[in-house]
């Protein structure tokens, strides 16, 4: 019972750290966008965590962990019922091999659920209708995320196949990233993002110190995101996981800043920051499988991928204010494939399993997010009016200003 208590306390600390990541996402998104949309972004992020937890309680948890029977050929879709209630062994060492209690299990997994929609929030910032975004969040977090999660973490067909994703490079980050890609495509770019010749124009964020604080908070939160995914306080695995996570983050930042400096001849802080996040996303699928050396290699390559990914998104004339597609989707794919290339599981067969998982989840997320967002676009509309966008969403959708005593001309 003492071991269960120690494990459970560690898992509750990790739950708190993953919750803290929502502050990091909020700061990053605010910092990299304009002052006139700050309230709007904060509202979306607060909405995501509140509604995400309630949706996970109503049905998401039982949709993600429905109790598939592999022998009966189950593994695609099953629902264990509405609401939550601890099973008889839920508070004993018999549950989850004594890793934690049933209640902690629900709360830890619930924190992950909301993250997928937060990724989309950053990509669509400054031009999406709040009502449309909220409807999308309810459907995507309430249904799509837990169904996809059940395929691996709920012992579904991808788990039975041998697909591996330790803490969610694909199951969390690319699930959000695919939806972000579809949303950005359907929304179109912000006014002034691309010149009449189609060249990308910088739209500077209004508070880079806040963005930097957001990234450092996210890095801290990843101690819980990856460290908690050990699902116990196992001394060897938790410490290895935290070491690989930190080394990949550091290497991602350095890789991105050196590569972007060589390409663009300046020291770009935002690229440095996104490189750190790219390294974190890249290591997340195999943080428990990698050696420190392999973590550094994965991180450096993730940092380089970030710089190329941001350039690719611009070239495709897609407008992603915070770099969410490059960080969460492209580095999520890289990190998932890296499990088949590096670490204890590396093999041709594992690489193929990883590729199958990425393709299946990508196809499902693109299809479902397109259906949801396209339907919203054709009915209530996705995008705010030109006047609202130019003047700012804070005044038009919220009737308030984030900095009422400090207004500057932003048009």
Provide the whole-model pTM.
0.94
| DSSP symbol at 70 | G
What is the average pLDDT score of the chain?
Answer: 93
Helix, strand and coil in the chain, % to nearest 5: 70, 0, 30
- 43-93: per-residue pLDDT in tens? 999 999 999 999 999 999 999 999 888 888 889 999 988 999 888 888 988
- 411, pLDDT greater than 50: no
Q: What number is the average pLDDT over the span 183-203? A: 90
- 366-394: per-residue pLDDT in tens? 999 999 999 999 999 999 999 999 999 99
Q: How confident is the model at residue 212 (pLDDT cuts 50, 70, 90)?
A: very high
Beta-carbon contacts of 229 under 8 Å, excluding residues fewer than 6 positions away, are: 166, 167, 168, 241, 287, 288
Q: What are phi and psi of 147, to 5 degrees?
A: -65, -50
CB-based burial of residue 241 (10 Å sphere; 0-12 exposed, 13-18 middle, 19+ buried)? Answer: buried
Structure tokens at 10: 């560690």
Q: What number is the average pLDDT over the span 153-179? A: 95
Architecture per CATH, domain 2-67+82-398, reads as Orthogonal Bundle (1.10)
Q: What number is the average pLDDT over the span 288-312? A: 96
Q: What number is the average pLDDT over the span 100-111? A: 93
- Please tell me the distance from the alpha carbon of residue 281 to that of residue 261, in angstroms, as a whole number: 22
- 293, pLDDT greater than 50: yes
Q: Domain map of the chain by residue range?
A: 2-67+82-398
């Amino acid at each position: 019972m003492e071991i269960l208590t120690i494990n459970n306390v560690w898992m509750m600390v990790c739950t708190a750290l993953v919750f803290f990541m929502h502050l990091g996402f909020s700061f990053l998104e605010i910092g990299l966008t304009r002052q006139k949309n700050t309230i709007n972004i904060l509202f979306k992020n607060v909405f995501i965590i509140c509604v995400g937890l309630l949706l996970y309680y109503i049905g998401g948890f039982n949709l993600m962990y429905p109790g598939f029977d592999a022998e009966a050929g189950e593994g695609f879709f099953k629902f264990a019922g509405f609401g939550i209630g601890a099973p008889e062994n839920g508070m004993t060492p018999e549950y989850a091999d004594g890793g934690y209690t049933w209640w902690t299990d629900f709360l830890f997994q619930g924190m992950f659920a909301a993250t997928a929609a937060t990724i989309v929030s950053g990509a669509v910032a400054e031009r999406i209708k709040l009502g449309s975004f909220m409807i999308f969040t309810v459907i995507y977090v309430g249904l799509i995320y837990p169904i996809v999660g059940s395929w691996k973490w709920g012992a579904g067909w991808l788990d039975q196949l041998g697909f591996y994703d330790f803490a969610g490079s694909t199951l969390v980050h690319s699930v959000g990233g695919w939806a972000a890609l579809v949303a950005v495509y359907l929304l179109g770019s912000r006014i002034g993002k691309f010149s009449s010749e189609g060249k990308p124009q910088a739209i500077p964020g209004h508070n880079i110190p806040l963005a930097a604080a957001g990234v450092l908070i996210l890095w801290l939160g990843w101690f819980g995101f990856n460290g908690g995914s050990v699902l116990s306080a196992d001394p060897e695995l938790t410490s290895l996981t935290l070491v690989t996570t930190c080394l990949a983050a550091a290497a991602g930042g350095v890789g991105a800043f050196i590569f972007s400096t060589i390409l663009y001849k300046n020291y770009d802080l935002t690229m440095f920051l996104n490189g750190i996040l790219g390294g974190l996303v890249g290591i997340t699928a195999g943080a428990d499988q990698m050696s420190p050396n392999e973590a550094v290699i994965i991180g450096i390559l993730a940092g380089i991928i970030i710089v190329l990914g941001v350039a690719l998104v611009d070239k495709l004339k897609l407008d992603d204010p915070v770099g969410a597609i490059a960080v969460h989707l492209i580095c999520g794919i890289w990190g998932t494939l890296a499990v088949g290339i590096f670490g204890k599981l590396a093999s041709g067969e594992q690489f193929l399993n990883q590729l199958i998982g990425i393709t299946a989840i990508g196809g499902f997320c693109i299809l479902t997010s397109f259906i949801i967002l396209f339907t919203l676009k054709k009915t209530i509309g996705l995008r705010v009016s030109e006047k609202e966008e130019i003047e700012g969403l804070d005044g038009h959708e919220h009737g308030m200003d984030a900095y009422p005593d400090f207004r500057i001309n932003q048009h």
